[in-house]
Amino acid sequence: MLKEKYQKEIDEIISRYPVKRSALIPLLYLAQQEHGYVTEAAMKEIAQLLKLTPPQVYETVTFYTVLNLKPVGKFHMQVCKSLMCALAGSDTVLGWIKTKLGIAPGESTPDGLFTLSAVECLASCGTAPMMQINDDYYEQLTEAKVDKILGDLKTTGTSDLKSGPYMWPLPVDAVRREG
Amino acid sequence: MPKHELILLKNMSQPGYSGSLADYEATGGYQALRATLGKTAPADVTTAVRKSGLRGRGGAGFPTGVKWGFLPKDYQGPRYLCCNADESEPGTFKDRQLMERDPHQMLEGIVLACYAIGAEYAYIYIRGEMVLGSKILEQAIGEARAAGYIGHNILGTGTHVDVWVHRGAGAYICGEETALLESLEGKRGLPRIKPPFPATHGLYNKPTVVNNVETLANLPHILTRGAEWFAAIGSPPKSTGTRVFCVSGHVKRPGNYEVPMGVTFRELVYEHAGGMRSNKPIKAFIPGGASAPFLTPDHLDVKMDFESVAAAGSMLGSGGVTVMEEGTSMVWAALRLMEFFYHESCGKCSPCREGSSWLVQTMRRIMAKRGRMEDLETLLDLCKNIAGRTVCAFGDAEVAPIQSTLKYWRDEYVSLIREAEAADLIMPEAAGVRH
């Protein structure tokens, strides 16, 4: 149950809105954070918390791509395939990952570590090709970078190649610093 | 040194600027708020914004001051400001930079807008994928609240403004302002029929203004330096100020470039973005995000302001400029964008829901060299029956890539179909066999 573990967060989230239903997506995020996806039990519980019917919760969940209704791998790799990334070689990036992990978009590795998805624009067209893994963006991908990211994630669960606050082109001093 | 004076990107272009409250204050941040709250009447703030000529930077380009003026004057209940940070238009990545690198600039704009329209609650609707952006904003809101710039009785002036970050969950349509409001109310993001407009019946059916991140980030500068100063930048009288253009595709230096409106596409592509990646000639460009019709090298000297781009048959839209070099298949490019629109159609209106599926199937067939000549008329006919026949502007947007590529590069469609005919690859029904 979410309520026992997150009572304080739930109360705070609901307090931001004059109408309870507005807290629906934020609470679904909480559920997804807990289980990796939105479970049926979580949807029922959230319906009760917000005084909604379960179908009202379900119809909302099914509209949004960030909310998963099925379990995904520990690392959900979402490669942007929209035109702007495609011009910069995103199909090649998908090809690398397919070869390296042996999975096609929509599939997960048998060990449950990686799920691969091809997704639409993530607002990084200036630093294409790119992908999002869980909460982090990885941009200007090359084959060497993809190798390092996959290796890092397997060994340490995180990678220092992830993007910081976005700015491109970089300010002049940063360019000098990074050579 | 940049060729043009930077306004929105100025702070973040300074060495070592971190975007913290201390950094922002050191560059004169929150001075507009100090000088305005309790000292200038809210109506005068709206007048100044109207005089500046500021127009919405999200895509539609509606004059901001005029939009604010639509709110009922005598309404006593709550009003809301929603900051549209659901940046999802393919080719656009400026709001992300404005939020993540200089969050206080935008927050100051939010408080100023709230003061002008009498709103005490603001929600920043940020797209769900931008987790880092939402964390940076939440931290900045915390700093601003602690410093008394946000919250109850701001700087002792009796103005109350509370700001929250609300994460969307990955639906392009939620950038449409009424779909954004539905989503913020915890529902599926289906656009509402207008009228009534959000100005009278918005969030929770209350008077509401929805403004884009870049629009709001301009406000502190307009109020500090004056409406006349702003109105003189760019292409007065109708396209004033700068815009942060997002350049992507086959250029040497893609990225965000802030230039005054009215600069030509040639200057943006060849001077700022460094020209073409592999020195091949430019074949096509999209001037304002995926929803804007494609243009050709003949249009490179068009000025980047609302009117000039519209006169050239496209739109300035969200400021996403995507450049394609010679050798790029225009059928392929249009298909990629069509796949995006097919994926993102919300499903409310039949012409868009069904039409996007038919368009994408027909395009895939042509691309796979299994098309037939009459497909071209089918495409145009479908486009005609989608545009203008839907609740929101998505319908007009989704037909733009196909209509414009068919207009300028029809021969590419024809040659793919001829190949199909020559190789006898046409499906049985295409050869006239009907079942």
Q: Do A166 and B136 touch (CB under 8 A)?
A: no
Tell how strand B162-167 and strand B121-126 pair up.
Answer: parallel
Residue A170: how many CB atoms within 10 A of its CB?
13
Write out the two tokens for B369: 């060299």
Write out the two tokens for B399: 């037909």
Tell me the C-alpha to C-alpha distance, in Å, between residue A128 and each of A118, A140, B315, B361: 14, 5, 24, 27
Q: Do B62 and B56 contact (CB within 8 A), yes or no?
A: yes
Q: Do A128 and B130 touch (CB under 8 A)?
A: no
Give the dihedral of Cα atoms B37, B61, B213, A78; nearest 10 deg.
Answer: 170
Tell how strand B242-249 and strand B208-212 pair up.
Answer: unpaired
Q: Do B164 and B123 contact (CB within 8 A), yes or no?
A: yes
Tell how strand A114-119 and strand A75-80 pair up.
Answer: parallel
A-chain residue closest to B328, CA distance = A87
Q: Do B104 and B21 contact (CB within 8 A), yes or no?
A: yes
Q: Do B141 and B106 contact (CB within 8 A), yes or no?
A: no
Give the least confident one: A117-126, A150-159, A170-179, B104-113: A170-179
Q: Considering CB atoms only, which of B12, B204, B250 is closest to A171?
A: B12
Alpha-carbon span B212 to B99, nearest angstrom: 11
The terminus-to-terminus CA distance of chain A in angstroms comes to: 51
Residue B177 CA to its chain's centroid (Å): 11
Alpha-carbon span B112 to B109, nearest angstrom: 5
Mean of the pLDDT values across residues A49-54? 98
Residue B116 pLDDT: 98
Q: Do B174 and B133 contact (CB within 8 A), yes or no?
A: no
The terminus-to-terminus CA distance of chain B in angstroms comes to: 68
| pLDDT in single tens digits along all 435 residues of chain B | 568 999 999 999 999 999 999 999 999 999 999 999 999 999 999 999 999 999 999 999 999 999 999 999 999 999 999 999 999 999 999 999 999 999 999 999 999 999 999 999 999 999 999 999 999 999 999 999 999 999 999 999 999 999 999 999 999 999 999 999 999 999 999 999 999 999 999 999 999 999 999 999 999 999 999 999 999 999 999 999 999 999 999 999 999 999 999 999 999 999 999 999 998 999 999 999 999 999 999 999 999 999 999 999 999 999 999 999 999 999 999 999 999 999 999 999 999 999 999 999 999 999 999 999 999 999 999 999 999 999 999 999 999 999 999 999 999 999 999 998 887 665 555 544 444
Residue B374: enclosing H or E segment and its boundaries?
A: helix B374-386
The residue among B82, B93, B280 with the most chain A CBs within 10 A of its CB, best to mutate, is B93
Write out the two tokens for B121: 């609650």
Alpha-carbon span A157 to A149, nearest angstrom: 10
Interface of B with A in 274-313 (CB under 8 A): 290
Residue B138 CA to its chain's centroid (Å): 23
Give the residue among B224, B257, B181, B199 at the shortest CA–CA distance from B29.
Answer: B224
Tell how strand A131-133 and strand A114-119 pair up.
Answer: unpaired
Alpha-carbon span A21 to B67, nearest angstrom: 27
Interface of B with A in 159-198 (CB under 8 A): 164, 166-172, 183-189
Model-level ipTM above the cut of 0.90: yes
Q: How far is A101 from chain B (nearest CA, A)?
A: 24
Give the dihedral of Cα atoms B336, B338, B343, B346; nearest 10 deg.
Answer: 150
Tell me the C-alpha to C-alpha distance, in Å, between residue B207 and each of B120, B150, B187: 12, 21, 19
Helix segments in B148-289, DSSP class H: 177-184, 213-225, 227-231, 265-266
Return the higher-pLDDT residue of A177 and A169: A169
Give the residue among A14, A144, A125 at the shortest CA–CA distance from A80.
Answer: A125
Residue B420 pLDDT: 87
Alpha-carbon span B303 to B285, nearest angstrom: 14
Amino acid in position B44: D
- Interface residue B132 vs chain A (CB under 8 A): yes
Q: Do B129 and A66 touch (CB under 8 A)?
A: yes
Residue A70: how many CB atoms within 10 A of its CB?
9
Per DSSP, the three-state class of B411 is: helix
Alpha-carbon span B25 to A85, nearest angstrom: 37
Max distance between CA atoms of chain B, in angstroms, equals: 79
Alpha-carbon span A31 to A36, nearest angstrom: 8
Alpha-carbon span B407 to B422, nearest angstrom: 24
B-chain residue closest to A27, CA distance = B186
Helix segments in B118-255, DSSP class H: 131-146, 177-184, 213-225, 227-231
Write out the two tokens for B18: 């971190």
From chain B, the residues in CB contact with A120 under 8 A are: 90, 172, 339-340, 343-344
Per DSSP, the three-state class of B329 is: coil
Q: Do B293 and B403 contact (CB within 8 A), yes or no?
A: yes
Residue A24 CA to its chain's centroid (Å): 18
Q: Do B93 and A164 touch (CB under 8 A)?
A: no
Residue in the block written with tokens 């931008």: B130
Alpha-carbon span A138 to A153, nearest angstrom: 12
Q: Do A141 and A93 contact (CB within 8 A), yes or no?
A: yes
B-chain residue closest to A84, CA distance = B249
Residue B168 CA to its chain's centroid (Å): 16
Give the dihedral of Cα atoms B255, B257, B261, B267; nearest 10 deg.
Answer: -80
The residue among B132, B162, B285 with the most chain A CBs within 10 A of its CB, best to mutate, is B132
- Interface residue B400 vs chain A (CB under 8 A): no
Max distance between CA atoms of chain A, in angstroms, equals: 58
Tell how strand B162-167 and strand B282-286 pair up.
Answer: unpaired
